[in-house]
Amino acid sequence: MVGKDILLGAWRLMTTARAMAAIYEENRPITKYVHSTSKGHEAIQIAAGLLLKPVDYAYPYYRDESILLSMGMQPYELMLQLLAKAEDPFSGGRTYYAHPSLRREGMPVMPHQSSATGMQTIPATGAAHGLKYLESQGMLTGAEKGIVLCSLGDGSVTEGEVAEALQMAVLHKLPILYLIQDNDWGISASGDEMRAMDAFDYALGFKGLKRVRVNGSDFVQCYSEMENALNYVRTERAPMLMHVKVPLLGHHTSGVRSEWYRDDYEKHMRLDPLPRLRELLLTLGESEKDLDAIAGETEALVKADFERAKAAPDPEFGTLKMHVEAETPIVEEKGERSPAGAETVMMVDAALHAVDEILKKHPEALLYGQDVGLRLGGVFREAATLAEKYGKDRVFNTPIQEAYIVGSTAGMSAVGCKPIVEIQFADYIWPGVNQLVTELSKSTYLSMGKFPVASVIRVPTGAYGGGGPYHSGTVESSLLPIKGIKIAYPSNAADMKGLMKSAYYDPNPVVMFEHKGLYWSKVPGTDMAKTPEPDEDYVVPFGKARVALEALATSVDRGESVGVVTYGMGVYWAMNAAKNFPGQVEVLDLRTLAPYDEEAIVSLTKKHGKVLILTEETLRNSFAEALAGRITQACFQYLDSPIKTMGSEDVPAVPLNAGMESVMLPNAEKVSVALEALLSE
């Protein structure tokens, strides 16, 4: 039996949530920002919030205000978010109602998550994955073991990314409870329109995922089953799915009103958990007067809190750019780039050694992705020997799940892990971009700095020697508009190692583009990609370019020089082309693209007056063309000639035929022609 004190507490919380829904509806001109309420869902949400522990992690979704109330949040705090006020404890007025991100003593941790339905399942599962890893290493020493609660609506279970999360949860036996609240509606689409089965039946396909159905109108059943489920996950360290049938007693959101599409409202009203809880309390001896008194108290509290929230200050506009990124500790080059007696290494070995040193020094670090595990060590052997050294808990293969590979790093980071992950080829990054954009890139900003996502995402890229259309692509221009992430693109072994270390120590998501054609310097003219190996402490700060080749001062003084801004393979096309113009060409290797070194580019432009921007990407609408526009704005009066750009031919993919590939790509000969034209202007 559930004790009467718990039932009375639930009554107080449920009437509070109802009073909040009512006052929001009565004040629609004031509650103008789109929001949802928990009306009808309160029983299971209150049970969850009351039973979670401070050691746990919770990922509520946008209808879960009753979970937040039962965890200890006050109506006033939620109203500050509802009205986008400065003191909103989650986001400072930046994100939607009931979108929590909070670390508060005595409460479960609630990392940031987006509004994208179902997307939270991967970060939440990543958090459970991280907890399991930390436990396996003896790094969680508390008496109680934490678990993860992931809450979502039944309509979102049709998302493919939910399947990826469930697959990993059962594959690795992760301590996570998926709470599915099924009210038979998406927005205006009913359940029978959207799915062939509900979440309970769907979960049968995931072997090892324990399931239970719950009546969300019955608080006693909700509390008992939630208690059982959390105990199971906590003790067995295994995943579970709870499917709860609940009525939808309000609108889908304030912006999509029930009268526009609902034809089953009376049916849902008969399933309202509030009068059922009231009847139970009356049968247990509580008086109507006492229950009404509690409801009156909660209504008065809600009204007073709403007036306070209305009067609270809005955010100061000067805070707009706060927490776009978390502050990195790596702000200058440190360590020895070329130590005495150092062995000359290839880029692929520099990357391997950097990750090896990170794993050796930092027990919170993991490495995972497709085929990086024990048998192969990466399709380019860039992780060779690491699984053997550090074990399958730290270095492991994932299924073919780019979304999980990327999105899980948000949850891993939230629990204190620092993941290094790999996308096998740049052409296959697209399934992971959803998580990169919706979850990773916005987490720092929308949580006001509470939940930066520290992750390194390695992406082999570039064309050489007939790799074909799905193994040769360059995609940096597609990712560069994403704010809140960093992008590195090293061109040699020393920068590979220094940037890999900087990326690891950076608290922000970092995408590391690694050109396959430079890994072993097999492409003619790329021997300079091999360098003496830097020492273990070597780091390269983001946003600092390197002069790969300097022009002679006499050529500059005579106005007979040109600057090339490039990165990756472009560095070698430019340097090999420069052999035809001794002393006249200066090559600037950007090394990182977000941020990029604008100061160095401006200095180069002023120095030479003529600039070529060189990229391997197709040219139209590229980063290179955008950069040309920025240089023109900043340095127009210093230009002796329009900024020139060069890239690959504008076709949708790199052809398999090696001859056609060479026609598509820039090369030293083509760059020589462009440089000669610039120098003659």
**Beta-carbon count within 10 A of 388 CB:** 12
Catalytic residue check, 471: yes
In the beta sheet, which residues pair with residue 22? none
DSSP for 203-230 reads: HTTSTT-EEEEEETT-HHHHHHHHHHHH
Catalytic residue among 99, 251, 471, 608: 471
Distance in angstroms between the alpha carbons of the first and the last residue of the chain: 89
Burial level of 421, CB count in 10 A (0-12/13-18/19+)?
A: buried
**Strand extents, DSSP E, 75-189:** 148-153, 176-182
In the beta sheet, which residues pair with residue 110? 102
Closest to 535 (Cα-Cα) out of 355, 336, 348:
336
Alpha-carbon distance of 633 to 598, in angstroms, equals: 12
Alpha helices (runs of H) in 467-508, residue ranges in sequence order:
476-479, 493-505
In the beta sheet, which residues pair with residue 157? none
* Interacting residues of 248 by C-beta distance below 8 A, sequence separation 6+: 39, 40, 41, 183, 184, 185, 258, 268
**Alpha-carbon distances of 564 from 111, 557, 560, 607, 613, rounded to whole Å:** 43, 17, 14, 12, 6
- Residue 488: in which H helix or E strand, if any? strand 486-488
Using an 8 Å Cβ cutoff, are 543 and 592 in contact? yes
Closest to 85 (Cα-Cα) out of 304, 325, 308, 321:
308
Grouping H, G, I as helix, E, B as strand and the rest as coil, residue 273 is helix
Alpha-carbon distance of 510 to 458, in angstroms, equals: 8
**Beta-carbon count within 10 A of 591 CB:** 28
Alpha-carbon distance of 512 to 590, in angstroms, equals: 13
Closest to 144 (Cα-Cα) out of 233, 13, 82:
233
Burial level of 463, CB count in 10 A (0-12/13-18/19+)?
A: buried
Closest to 280 (Cα-Cα) out of 236, 219, 226, 337:
219
Alpha-carbon distance of 412 to 125, in angstroms, equals: 9
Backbone angles phi, psi at 244, to 5 degrees: -120, 120
DSSP for 661-681 reads: HHHHS--HHHHHHHHHHHHH-
Catalytic (active-site) positions? 471
